[in-house]
Amino acid sequence: MAVERDWNRRLASKAILAGAVLFLAAPFVVVLGASFDPATGYHVAFPPRGFSLASYAAIPWKYARAAGTSVMVGVIVAVVSTAIGLCAALGLVRGRLIGREALASFFRMPVQIPFVVTGAVFLQFYYQLASLTGVNLLNGLTGLIIAHVFVAVPYSVGAVTAVLSRFDPALEEAAESLGATAWATFRSVTLPIIRPGVLAGLFYAFIVSFGDIPVALFLAPGDRATLPVQIFEDMQFDFKPSMLAVSSLIAVLSLAAILAARELAGFDMVARPAHASAASQPSERTARP
């Protein structure tokens, strides 16, 4: 009886929740479904009229190449920005720095700048740099990687800070009192314990880099487009069902990666999404009247 009544409570809210989930999941379901349609023309059919892997077989080589570019950029960005994020978080949480608050809000700043603007600013900067020093970062992927690190750092800082601020400093003192050097303490005590935060930082930085379009649109050389940019451009000018197949693969592999990250790294995305912790500072500030 009680359970039954419980389920019947807040029905309106639950109906809205169901609608929202349906709304958010629908695009993925449709892409996945349409990718199995046997037609190979420009027509897209959902629900599919049959089951065929034709669109998968027709995936052109350029997408694999673009995927390689995206993964490479993403991995480098994840490692670099998490390394910076780790140092920054150590400084923010531990350091007795003056103006820690101001620094912390500085670190959240890139989140507030639209990606398009970031892309434009970096493009300008690289042109200037090239005309001043002759070093053209736009030739290879270096320019894109630097810009991605810039936008990804807040997420890494957020993820590491979230874990680090719950870390008990007495653990480090305990290690030190047992004769451990600063490095040994960091390696065998601090790092293993904040590992979930570091992994979350890597994960989110990768996601930010991998998912970005505007910045890569400005900064990736024409022949080294990232995967989302490649799809973005083809969607506008040259739609083919094979793109449905590529998108389905992205969705499925992303989902698998997210699940694997949860299982292996043991971090709880829901508890501290990096964007939320990087961006939701105002609400935290007002939470204490």
Displacement of CA 60 from its chain's centroid (Å): 26
Q: Is 13 in the site for other proteins (CB under 8 A)?
A: yes
* C-alpha to C-alpha distance for 34 and 48, rounded to whole angstroms: 5
* C-alpha to C-alpha distance for 251 and 273, rounded to whole angstroms: 19
Q: Is 135 in the site for other proteins (CB under 8 A)?
A: no
Report the residue from 39, 79, 180, 265 that binds other proteins according to the rule CB under 8 A.
180
- In whole angstroms, how close is the CB of 62 to other proteins at the nearest point? 15
Q: Is 90 in the site for other proteins (CB under 8 A)?
A: yes
Residue 6 tokens, joined? 């419980």
Report the residue from 65, 193, 240, 265 that binds other proteins according to the rule CB under 8 A.
193
CA dist 61 → 52, 150, 227 (Å): 20, 30, 12
* C-alpha to C-alpha distance for 213 and 65, rounded to whole angstroms: 17
Part of the chain binding other proteins (CB under 8 A), chosen from 48-56, 60-68, 135-143, 248-256: 248-256
Report the residue from 5, 133, 177, 264 that binds other proteins according to the rule CB under 8 A.
177
- In whole angstroms, how close is the CB of 97 to other proteins at the nearest point? 7
Q: Is 256 in the site for other proteins (CB under 8 A)?
A: no
Q: Is 120 in the site for other proteins (CB under 8 A)?
A: yes
Q: Which residues of 30-58 are buried (b: 16+ CB within 10 A; e: fewer)?
A: ebbebbbbebeeeebeeebeeebebbbee
Q: Are 143 and 126 in contact (CB under 8 A)?
A: yes
Backbone angles phi, psi at 89, to 5 degrees: -65, -40
* C-alpha to C-alpha distance for 98 and 100, rounded to whole angstroms: 6
Part of the chain binding other proteins (CB under 8 A), chosen from 49-57, 59-67, 158-166, 255-263: 255-263
Report the residue from 46, 59, 71, 142 that binds other proteins according to the rule CB under 8 A.
46
Part of the chain binding other proteins (CB under 8 A), chosen from 56-64, 133-141, 158-166, 267-275: 267-275
* C-alpha to C-alpha distance for 13 and 55, rounded to whole angstroms: 40
Q: Is 144 in the site for other proteins (CB under 8 A)?
A: no
Nearer to other proteins, 54 or 83 (CB): 83
- In whole angstroms, how close is the CB of 280 to other proteins at the nearest point? 6
Q: Reply yes or no: is the peptide bond before residue 47 cis, omega within 30 of 0.
A: yes
Q: Is 8 in the site for other proteins (CB under 8 A)?
A: no
Part of the chain binding other proteins (CB under 8 A), chosen from 51-59, 60-68, 136-144, 250-258: 250-258
